Amino acid sequence: MTALSRYVPILDWGRRYSRQALSNDLIAAVIVTIMLIPQSLAYALLAGLPPEAGIYASIAPIILYAIFGTSRALAVGPVAVVSLLTASAVGQVAEQGTAGYAVAALTLAALSGGFLVLLGVLRLGFLANFLSHPVIAGFITASGILIAVSQLKHILGVSASGHTLPEMLNSIYAHLNEVNGITVLIGVLATGFLFWVRGNLKPLLKRLGAGPLLADILTKAGPVAAVVVTTLSVWGFGLADRGVRIVGDVPQSLPPLTLPGVSGELVGALLVPAILISVIGFVESISVAQTLAAKKRQRIDPDQELIGLGAANLGAAFTGGFPVTGGFSRSVVNFDAGAETPAAGIYTAIGLAIAALALTPLVYYLPNATLAATIIVAVLSLVDLSILKKTWGYSRADFTAVAATILLTLVLGVEVGVASGVAISVLLHLYKTSRPHVAEVGLVPGTQHFRNVLRHDVETDPALLTLRVDESLYFVNARFLEDLIQARVTSGSDIRNVVLMFSAVNEVDFSALESLEAINQRLRDMDVGLHLSEVKGPVMDRLRKSHFIDDLNGRVFLSQYDAWQALSHPAPAVRAAQ
């Protein structure tokens, strides 16, 4: 692999592209294209944009990701959570339906793309790890609920607004008098049908003798069937004249060349949302990519993925789209349909371009309620409250992070929710490390192994206090150890030597160094020795840069057993037997 092909992976796999791969990729592309047409329209609706934006956002981004991305199966385009975040961010700077709204969406995509590329070039992909699994799970669940509720207005046929659960419910309640019965009928039937397809069609088809791939494809085509039937109904019965809102005119055009806004005010207002969208989109995408890659023992390069997703978003910004990322359902369909290389994505893009040119008049009578139904059915599969139960059983800190993320996302909105989730995770972690577990240890008889005196039957020596410090020593807990040793050594006057067993100390920062110096000084004043054992290489390297080791009122032992042999008197009986 050359240096260039590391940054442009298409140069690597493109060179070895076979006829077999071509055939597999083409089949996958046809299936994905059919599935993406309604999905793209629906996510544009969710983002508050005209329907064609959803198709445009699936063309250039897919091609750019195929060139720069490292996943073989990832399908990039509009996804539910990112569309929701887009609606929330853009809604704060522009009125929905205005030209300013569309420009703000382009700007958001451009900022997000630029930020992702920057992270990738600086190789900062690990930053996404700050989103813990519980925070992601809580956020996705809460977003699923928010998205489903946000689509209720289309099912009811009312004009409601709001970006938080209370706002949306209030707004729907205030507009209940506008409810359109026929729209409700279409929406409820479409939703019910799609739930039935999702839950029951595949087993039914299999019982009827269809192969698994065919059953799968027909199941995924459920939304297409709903689109066709409801569009024909609206057209045939003239329901648009009876208050059913429809998609209407969609321009027949390839993706236009567009320019994101560059005003300082707009960029300033969208910068923080863009960073949030980038990080969340990246986390969602890389999870999907890694899951699929693991199945074929392929490797994903997280930093190159940042560049691939960044290029895709920049592409969306200049071709009439909005922020995109690698989506779960479309990628799984692509993978299951047999896509072998990112070329499948390029063929999908061509398919969508043809659809944008030729098929858009066909969706004129498509009711918004049908699109809302496809969104609701798709996102409710994201809602998984079992994470609350799982974390409750395992760790109260993780449970707190999930519960707070879900609650704050629903009540205060997506941005506050996810930011609070990260902050709470970090603070809980710091809180835990601020009061470290410190065990007094003794020798497990017949071994050279030392364990907690409270949990194991071990040998100890009253003149020797050995403390195993179960945490890195740094500013948050520096004073803790000082207080602890002070309390132990003044209360037990027999102690002549203190050994700090550093097997679990992975860092000693400057604050902790000053605390160790203070401990050393105090023990020296009391004529008690201070020793260290099992200090790890990197920690020892660091301590040697200070005067602490020179000034130490005792020795540094390689192993705790060495310290025990040197310092414990009289030798316990069992040890003599060894």
Residues that bind its own copies (CB under 8 A): 126, 129-135, 294, 297, 390-391, 393-395, 397-398, 425-426, 429-430, 432-437, 439, 444, 447-449, 451-452, 455, 470-472, 474-480, 490, 503-507, 509-511, 513-514, 522, 536-538, 542, 545-546, 558-559, 561
Q: Strands 497-501 and 464-470, how do they pair?
A: parallel
Q: How far is CA 567 from CA 166, 396, 499, in A?
A: 67, 41, 9
Cβ neighbours of 386 (radius 10 Å): 9
Residue (161 or 290) nearer to its own copies, CB: 290
Give backbone dihedrals phi and psi of 241, rounded to 5 degrees, phi first.
Answer: -75, -15
Among candidate residues 504, 505, 530, 526, the one with its CA nearest the CA of residue 516:
530
State yes or no: cis peptide before 9, omega within 30 of 0.
Answer: no
Q: Is 467 helix (H, G, I), strand (E, B) or coil?
A: strand
DSSP character at residue 193: H
What are 472's two structure tokens? 């890195």
Q: How far is the CB of 278 from its own copies (least distance, A)?
A: 18
Burial readout 198-219 (b: 16 or more C-beta within 10 A, e: otherwise): beebbeebeeeebeeeebbbbb
Residue (256 or 538) nearer to its own copies, CB: 538
Dist CA 499 CA 560 (whole Å): 8
Dist CA 19 CA 514 (whole Å): 67
Residue (96 or 395) nearer to its own copies, CB: 395
CA atoms within 13 A on the CB side of 573: 0
Dist CA 306 CA 292 (whole Å): 17
Place of tokens 């629906």: 42
DSSP states of 381-433: TT--THHHHHHHHH-HHHHHHHHHHHHHHHHH-HHHHHHHHHHHHHHHHHHHH
Cβ neighbours of 181 (radius 10 Å): 12
Q: How far is the CB of 213 from its own copies (least distance, A)?
A: 24
Residue (65 or 480) nearer to its own copies, CB: 480
Residue (15 or 455) nearer to its own copies, CB: 455
Q: How far is the CB of 546 from its own copies (least distance, A)?
A: 6
Q: Is 48 helix (H, G, I), strand (E, B) or coil?
A: coil
Residue (376 or 473) nearer to its own copies, CB: 473
Among candidate residues 533, 535, 388, the one with its CA nearest the CA of residue 472:
535
Q: How far is the CB of 341 from its own copies (least distance, A)?
A: 22
Q: How far is the CB of 282 from its own copies (least distance, A)?
A: 13
Dist CA 408 CA 399 (whole Å): 14
Q: Do 344 and 331 form a contact (C-beta atoms < 8 A)? A: no
Q: Amino acid identity of 478? A: A
Q: How far is the CB of 443 from its own copies (least distance, A)?
A: 11
Q: Strands 497-501 and 529-533, how do they pair?
A: parallel
Place of tokens 């996302």: 409
Q: How far is the CB of 402 from its own copies (least distance, A)?
A: 8
Residue (26 or 518) nearer to its own copies, CB: 518
Q: Do 104 and 266 form a contact (C-beta atoms < 8 A)? A: yes
Q: How far is the CB of 105 from its own copies (least distance, A)?
A: 31
Residue (118 or 397) nearer to its own copies, CB: 397
Residue (235 or 475) nearer to its own copies, CB: 475
Among candidate residues 115, 58, 110, 60, the one with its CA nearest the CA of residue 86:
110
To the nearest 10 degrees (0 to 180), the angle between helices 181-196 and 368-380 is 40
Residue (253 or 395) nearer to its own copies, CB: 395
Q: How far is the CB of 378 from its own copies (least distance, A)?
A: 24
Q: Do 85 and 323 form a contact (C-beta atoms < 8 A)? A: yes
Residue (171 or 400) nearer to its own copies, CB: 400
Residue (175 or 390) nearer to its own copies, CB: 390
Residue (190 or 286) nearer to its own copies, CB: 286
Dist CA 443 CA 447 (whole Å): 7
Phi-psi region of 180 (alpha: psi -120 to 50; beta: other; left: phi over 0): beta
Q: Amino acid identity of 197? A: V
Residue (19 or 297) nearer to its own copies, CB: 297
